[in-house]
Structure 1
Amino acid sequence: MTRIFSEKISTRATKRPELEAAVKLAREIRSSGVAVTLVVHEHKRLGRGIELAMLAEELKGSHDPSGIVFTVLAALSGMEREYIRDRTLEGHESARKHGKTIGGADVTDESMLSMALHLRDQEMSLRDIAKRLVITTYTKKGQHPSPATVMRMLREHGEQASTAANAQ
């Protein structure tokens, strides 16, 4: 019997319905005494680090009774994730040095900045400021910016003001 489970979801997601269903089915079949082979397209699809170690313990079988294969895969997956993260951060830093915006379209504008500065002067938190601002353009129109976007907008404004003051 062959059963295919397919999931297009981030490996960082905490809920993985298709993976959970595959593991559940494997457990049920194995409990009836039938050997089960679980094939995964990419080892990173199983998860990383502690999740993979827990899955390894759950799926331990006759071909890998010690779980060493899963342990090695968990280590490799963790290293791969760190490598991807480091390369992404390097790319962002390089883009910033060349004056490029990171993260897609800029959703802030002058009126949003003005309101954010006013609310900051009232000593509101970034989270509270973000809740009071509304994006007026692009696909996020009508939504609130994230606190990180508000922080970046205020930081960039401060940097521009500082540069202008130093130029005089």
Structure 2
Amino acid sequence: MSDDDFRRVEAHDCPMTSCSAPAGSPCRTGKGKVAVQYHTARFRLVPSLAKTLSVATPPVRKPGSLWVELPRPPAAGAEPAGRMRIGYARASTVRQSLDTQLDALKAARVARVFAEKISTRAVVRPELERAVALAAEMRASGLAVTLVVHEHKRLGRGIELAALAEQLRAADIGLEFLSGELQGSHDPTGIVFTVLAALSGMEREYIRDRTLEGHESARTRGKTIGGATVTDEAMLSMALHLRGQNLSLRDIAARLVITRGKKKGQHPSPATVLRMLREHDEIARASAVQGS
């Protein structure tokens, strides 16, 4: 299942007479509430979801709340109903100031600014996620939306930046950098998005190849690859719970305790926590793909 599945479902009117939600709006219950799941007759209009058992209504649609008809999505090739610029600012530490970024965004006349002080290494960046969610919702309503950032490094580096670019391109959201090497406005179909996607794949391949080479070099010297496993299901469960509270990797690691082996009683490293969460996310994505 994809994060954008609900948009594919909402590209169609709901054929259920008890719902009849128009394109662009979530399904509704007989009591006039937003349905928790889209009606089967509706999501089966999407070929890629035809065999899916259910498609959940995402939090952005507020399941269980009073149903309100939303604007229909723009027709392909149609002119946007208007334009909106959403700003994002980030500093890596609490001591760093956001003033320069905020002043630049204000001068760029963005409609709303999301700002936070959080490390680039953080798995979850709440304000960035809110900015992207709002941008996607505004784009779905027919507005042409651009995410404006002071410099590309504020969004991340390497794979993280490329993954975000792919997310924005899928939602047809533009990107603008006010300074730095990528300064300027970039259309979702433009070369910058394409290059970032390509770099993402290249960087993954490079990291994988260098890792394998390092392992092989270590083996030829008689070194053992890897060590005793310090993670377990209980630790993973607690780490997922803490991640849901938007804690940094360092804070999550500080709250976990190794329960076995030579390091029993110690805290795992942030790198160990990151690897454990990434492995869980990869397995979850693979299972979702197989089930779709």
Q: TM-score, normalised by structure 1?
A: 0.46
Q: TM-score, normalised by structure 2?
A: 0.29
The answer to which structure has the higher strand fraction is 2
State which structure, 1 or 2, has the greater radius of gyration over its C-alpha atoms: 1
The answer to which structure has the higher helix fraction is 1
